[in-house]
Amino acid sequence: MRVTRAGLFSVLIGWLVSAPLQADMQLQTEEYRLKIEVVAEGLSHPWSIAFLPSGEQLVTERDGRLRLIQKDQLHPDPIAGVPEVAATGQGGLLDVVLHPDFENNQLIYLSYADATDAGLTTRVMRARFQDHALHDAEMIFEALPRSSGGRHFGGRMVFDQAGFLYLSIGDRGEMERAQQGDDHAGSIVRLHDDGSVPADNPFVGDAAVRDEIYTLGNRNPQGMTLHPQTGDIWSSEHGARGGDEINRIMAGLNYGWPEVTHGVNYIGTKITEHSELPGMESPLLHWTPSIAPSGITFYTGDDFPAWQGQLLNGALKDRLISRVSVSYAQGEYHLQEEERFLQGFGQRIRDIRQSPDGILWLLTDETRGQVVRLRPANE
């Protein structure tokens, strides 16, 4: 499916281009008028948000700080015990997720870029969060081999309904690595909550592919979420110049990069002659030209009933939210972009999440980034 801009409803507020979002602003979409609530600001490139059972929020800053929001106030002190991160290029402190049994074990997971003399890579750390600090920290996964360069760390994590942890790892800017099974780069890995390898991972026993790998051929997925009915993992993936993708992540599949793509190199030259090939999974939707998709979430709340079951995507390059309808018929999913909004504000949207109470939250990937809520304007 090729998505174009023709016929899309676009909300443009020209005088606000590149301006921070302001509290009590309102925004008209096709279906709803939204009220913008700025919860916190002045964060350095916030990357991820996690919702604690207490009603508080954890937010990562790419520079390497983990912050706490309490009653809509940003705690002045960063949380202690965060590992040293390589805040270089696109790297730094990335995702934060809670263990499925967080209420009993207080475990959280951080993904981050790490540097040694051998180069850079993506790591995952597990620790217990208590008294504004991380305790009993342990590194449970490291993508290998390391390499130079500050691009395409991936870093998005999600737990599925069975308690397995999924982590995206980008191709590190070296596209051929995404087709090399002995290399974690350009893959999605699946782990137990302690970092060990599930016995039913699709390549366990295959000497040519690392046991942790769940899928191959992924360029740089930076959004992952669960389908609310099936529990399947869905991802958003950066293409090059065009070819951004939405994929359903299934065990053992090869998503094609760089053997197949709808995009081209940034200088306009071809990457491949193929947009599809036998044995390689095609995307459910692709954006050409690119919007640079980031965090994604399926909307299941009550505030915006017309959006229920639809996929909401943040975007970095085009600085917007994309709303995509999702339907299922005759064994296949069908996706159609319905609307783009928020682009008039000129803010890079790093993540979009739905909190447990059904509210939409955004993170803006800016030097003075913001944590923002969207509510119906008539509340």
Q: Which residues are catalytic?
A: 152
Is there a contact between 74 and 40 (Cβ–Cβ < 8 Å)?
A: yes
Helix (H, G, I), strand (E, B) or coil at 229: coil
Q: Phi/psi of residue 51, each to 5°?
A: -105, 115
Structure-token pair, residue 236: 């958003």
The residue to which tokens 């016929």 are assigned: 7
Contacts of 282 (CB under 8 A, 6+ apart): 256, 260, 276
The Cα-based distances of 162 to 145, 190, 299 in angstroms read 29, 12, 21
Burial tier of 86 (Cβ tally within 10 Å: 0-12, 13-18, 19+): buried
Locus of tokens 């991972």? 201
Can you tell me whether residue 306 is helix, strand or coil? Answer: helix
Q: Residue 326 to residues 228, 300, 311, 323: CA-CA distances in angstroms?
A: 12, 13, 7, 10
Answer whether 336's CB lies under 8 Å from 1's CB: yes
Contacts of residue 355, defined as CB under 8 A and 6 or more positions apart, other chains included, come to 51, 361
Q: Which amino acid is at 121?
A: T
Q: What's the one-letter identity of residue 159? A: F
Here the tokens at position 331 are 């064994």
Could you give the angle at the alpha carbon of 285 between the alpha carbons of 162 and 31, nearest 5°?
Answer: 90
Residue appearing with tokens 């504000």: 345
Neighbours of 282 (CB within 10 A): 15
Side chain identity at 324, as an amino acid letter? V
**Nearest-angstrom CA–CA distance, 105 and 98:** 10
As a whole number of angstroms, the distance between CA 228 and CA 339 comes to: 21
Q: Under a CB-based contact definition with an 8 Å cutoff, are residues 7 and 326 in contact?
A: no
